[in-house]
Amino acid sequence: MDKEMLKYFSGALNRQLMEALPEATGMLPGLLEAVGHREPMDEVDFASMHSSRELGIRIHRHHHMRVREILAAIHRLSEGEYGICVECGDEIAVDRLKAQPVTTVCLSCRRHLEVVSRRGSHRKRRAAS
Ligand SMILES: [Zn+2]
């Protein structure tokens, strides 16, 4: 991915973060720093990160996952891993990233994962009955 595209997605992710978390305006450097050595973050980590840093951000429960996805994407961007499928290591199509900047898998892996999870739930249902 070239610098222009990285800049584009950095901007897109920042906008998404501000939409999901208006209180985070101007706090991104601190958040990025915190994300850098706290991965993967679970809910407790996320909560303690906020209270310990006294960022004063109120995370609404329904925003929580969204914010975490965006922060993870920003982290991948800073690590130079952005746009690389976590399943197969291929580059994710730019069109797909533009539609879904927080995505971590390419389209074929996404489809594969959907099939696998569907099969898994069928199996579970059958075992239960
Ligand atoms: Zn893939």
pLDDT of residue 57: 47
Domains of the chain and any CATH numbers: 3-128 (1.20.120.910)
* Residues 6+ away with beta carbon under 8 Å from 14: 28, 74
Burial pattern 75-93, b for ≥16 Cβ within 10 A else e, equals bbbeeeebbbbeeeeeebe
pLDDT of residue 1: 82
Q: Which chain residues have CB less than 5 Å from ligand 1, an ion?
A: 85, 87-88, 106, 109
How confident is the model at residue 15, as a pLDDT? Answer: 87
Find the 48 Cα to ligand 1 centroid distance in Å.
33
CA of 55 to the centre of ligand 1 (A): 36
Give 59 Cα–ligand 1 centroid separation in angstroms: 31
Spell out the per-residue pLDDT of the chain, length 129, in tens.
Answer: 888 998 999 999 988 888 887 665 555 566 666 555 444 445 545 555 544 444 444 555 556 778 888 989 988 998 899 999 999 999 999 999 999 999 999 999 999 999 888 887 655 555 555
Could you give the angle at the alpha carbon of 99 between the alpha carbons of 98 and 105, nearest 5°? Answer: 85
Enter the tokens of residue 68: 């975490």
Alpha carbon of 22 to ligand 1 centroid (Å) = 32
Structure tokens at 37: 């050595």
